[in-house]
Amino acid sequence: MTSGTLNYIRFWGVRGSYPAPFGSHMRVGGNTSCVELQADNHILICDGGSGIIPLGQHLIQQQEIKELTILLTHYHWDHISGLPFFVPAFIPGWKLNFYGPGDNQQEIEQRVSGQMIDPYFPIEAETWLADVHFLQAHNNQLEYGPFKIEPFFVHHPGSTFGYRIQVHDKTIIYASDNELPFVDNFMGERLNKMKPDELKLFKAMQIEEKARYIELINNAHIFIHDAQYTPEDYAKKRGWGHSCYLDTTNFAIEANVKQLYLFHVDPNYNDNKVEELHCNTLKFIDKHQSNMGCHIAREGLIVSIDKL
Ligand SMILES: [Zn+2]
Ligand SMILES: [Zn+2]
């Protein structure tokens, strides 16, 4: 399609929490979570933050692909606030398939359309002219064209998914909001007050958490993960459901990830700060004698899936 690369990942929104359209933030980007994956003329979109607005404008420039599948990690504003302004939804002939946390398709529908009701928004999702569907996973799997998708629960307030996506023999993990390692960082604070049986349970949870994530993430070609805070800011925000970038990096090394993308960075961090954190991450990787690649997920960045 229009990107010039056949099968690719493109970052349309990379910020955590709220849009940050400030001059000091433009090298990294100010829009909230939205990542496009395109393979074999199928488009998969992860999250509908403000980044989905320019993606919508981009998509209507072409005629080839008019069906989209949108995976939502959860329904916090920074992941859905672009949907009311997503132009393909308002054009007949387009087909949109949504998936996200929820007990059934109706619940997903309510959560997607809930932000577009009076008095919060002037037009309801019912006015969308596209053919809109809400998907259901079978055996915790979804398939869309060449994409095989497995949702998994992450540590973030409410029900939140990460997605393990396989395409062309490549594994891509998208986990925008996730606190790692949650059991260690959050529960570990109570370690001294634990009774022996509680301590035993804690150790079991610690092992289980690590094993579960390692199994999901192991050998991933691309790991797009929450890297919201510095260690200093994380210390003030334990249990908020976001990771310190060094914890994310440490986990990625342990899981033998090939390329890490630091994502959902704090909107308070300007370009210089994010680039400084990236430098620290590269030193950390070097110190751990790992050859993992590490990048800032910058708005507009395109990564070829074929060349991974
Ligand atoms: Zn978020
Ligand atoms: Zn959230």
Total number of domains constituting the chain: 1
Give the pLDDT mean for 34-52.
98
* Residue 262 confidence (pLDDT) above 80: yes
Question: Is 2 part of any domain?
Answer: no
Place of tokens 């809930």: 114
Question: Is 99 part of any domain?
Answer: yes
**Residue 177 CA, ligand 2 centroid: distance in Å:** 6
**Residue 160 CA, ligand 2 centroid: distance in Å:** 8
Whether the full predicted model's pTM is greater than 0.85, yes or no, is: yes
Give DSSP secondary structure letters for 77-125. HHHHTTGGG-GGGGSTT-EEEEE-SSSSHHHHHHHHHGGGSTTT-SS-G
How large a percentage of the chain has pLDDT more than 90?
85
The predicted pLDDT at position 5 comes to 57
Question: Is 3 part of any domain?
Answer: no
Q: How many angstroms separate the CA atoms of 107 and 125, rounded?
A: 14
Give the pLDDT mean for 239-266.
96
Residue 194 pLDDT class (50, 70, 90 cuts) = confident
**Residue 192 CA, ligand 2 centroid: distance in Å:** 30
* Ligand approaching nearest to the C-alpha of 264: 1
Residues near ion ligand 1 (Cβ under 5 Å): 78, 177
Question: Is 1 part of any domain?
Answer: no
| Enclosing domain of residue 196 | 8-304
CATH of the domain at 262: 3.60.15.10
